[in-house]
Each structure stands twice: as structure tokens, then as C-alpha cells.
Homo-oligomer: A and B are copies of this chain.
Amino acid sequence: MPARSYGQYCGVTTAVELIGERWALLIVRDLLVGPRRYTDLKQGLPRIPTNILSTRLKELQEGGVVRRVPLHGCGLAYELTPYGRALEPILLALGRWGFPAMGDPDEGDVVTPDSLTMALRTAFRPDRARDLDLELHVGDVALRVIVRGGVLAVARLSPPAPPIGGVLPAGEAEAVLVAGPGIRRLIGGEITPAEAVAQDVVALVRGEGRILDAFAQTFHIDPLPA
């Protein structure tokens, strides 16, 4: 019936009709980090036109992927439904798939707190994880990254004002890591931690050198078939 339907009775087609429109999956990506207000989403997706953002949110609600929730006290937020949250493994796999094709950032490309958080989740290897507690700085984004017993927790330090459920861990991190876009090559195993430091793609501002090794082992994406 809808003119814009793919005209097939198939699960993939249905999925693409629900989350295949432009920007939709990036909205889901940010909501996987936590509930977000309209303005949070707009900031996390700097290039999205506001009319597209509201259209997508409406469509995702109709599709049962997203719902609106009143924010304790005042305002409102969008969050994934359980059905929407079931996209998490798919989005992580998609992020891993896209990783080798990232190349170098285009001029004007940004890294947002939510995209970096999800990037850490895509690269996280529970099986090889070492315990960690560090601050990761990329551009003006700063995250607190804590790994304990194979479980990853990421909290946003800056830009501040953790959107909704942001709970700041107490105490100081063991290390502070400042990275540029080249950190992709460390995660991808193209270079070793030592080379990464030598080539200035990361700098260990505070903490012991072995922490960088633990980081590289814990966050890693294997090369895909060329």
C-alpha cells in the first residue's frame, strides 16, 4: 500500500522499512547509550535537520522501536523499547563491519560522546578484557572507561552535563589517555601500543605504560576479509 514500500514480504525488508531511513540507525545508536532528550539527540547528531529528527522519532515510535518517557519532574526523553534494544548486537556488529572501512576522518568529521561510547562497545572483547580504569580523551570528548571482571562501563565526563542517567564514578582514574583519530590503527592491530605512542596517535598523560597494553588487548577489532 505505501508507495515507498519495497513490495516484498520478507523479514529483512520489514526491518529496513523500520530502521532503514536516513539517520534512523544513528538515532538508535545514540539511544543505545541511554535515554536522550530531543536536544541531546540534536547535539549528538550535529548535521541532522531538526525536521528529519522529529520525523524519524515519530516513525520509530510508530514502529515500536522508540518511546517517549516523561523525565522525572519535567521535560521528556526518548528511549528504546525492548524491541529497539534488541538491535544492540546488530548495531555493534555493524560498527565492527564498518570499522575497517573508516579510513581517515574527513575534514569536519566529529566524534561525539555517544558515538565514542558505542565504538568502545563494538571493540570491547569480554573474553580478553583486562581490568582497567582510565580517562579517554578524543577531541573534546572525555570518557571514563572502567572494565571490571569482563564488564565494560563507560561514563561521560565531558562535555559535561551527563544527559540523564549519568552517574560519575567516584575517585580518580588510574590513567589518562589522549588519543587522536589514529587510535583506529591501534584498535585494528595495525600498530602496537609502543608504535602508537611513538607516532603520537595516543599519549599516556598519566599512568603506567602497561595500561596502554591492557587497553589495546581489551579493545580490539580483528581485520575482516579484504
Query: A interface vs B, CB < 8 Å?
Result: 1-2, 5-16, 18, 20, 22-23, 25-26, 29, 45-47, 63-64, 81-83, 85-87, 89-91, 93-102, 105-112, 115-116, 118-119, 122, 181, 224-226
Decide: A82 and B225 in contact? CB cutoff 8 A.
yes
Q: Given the known inter-chain contacts A8-B112, A9-B105, A225-B83, please indicate yes or no for A93 contacting B90, CB distance below 8 A.
A: yes
Decide: A6 and B20 in contact? CB cutoff 8 A.
no
Decide: B119 and A11 in contact? CB cutoff 8 A.
yes
A53 to chain B, nearest CB (A): 13
State the CA gap A76–B6 with chains docked (Å): 26
A/B interface sample: 21 pairs, CB < 8 A: A5-B109, A6-B23, A6-B26, A9-B106, A9-B115, A10-B98, A10-B102, A10-B115, A11-B102, A12-B26, A13-B26, A13-B98, A14-B102, A16-B25, A20-B20, A82-B224, A82-B226, A83-B100, A83-B101, A86-B97, A90-B90
Chain B residues with Cβ under 8 A from A107's Cβ? Answer: 1
Q: Given the known inter-chain contacts A85-B225, A225-B82, please indicate yes or no for A111 contacting B9, CB distance below 8 A.
A: yes
Chain B residues with Cβ under 8 A from A1's Cβ? Answer: 106-108
Chain B residues with Cβ under 8 A from A85's Cβ? Answer: 225
Chain B residues with Cβ under 8 A from A91's Cβ? Answer: 12
Chain B residues with Cβ under 8 A from A181's Cβ? Answer: 9
- Minimal Cβ-Cβ distance residue in B for A224: B86
A181 to chain B, nearest CB (A): 6
Residue with the greatest number of chain B CB neighbours at <10 A, chosen from A26, A89, A116: A26
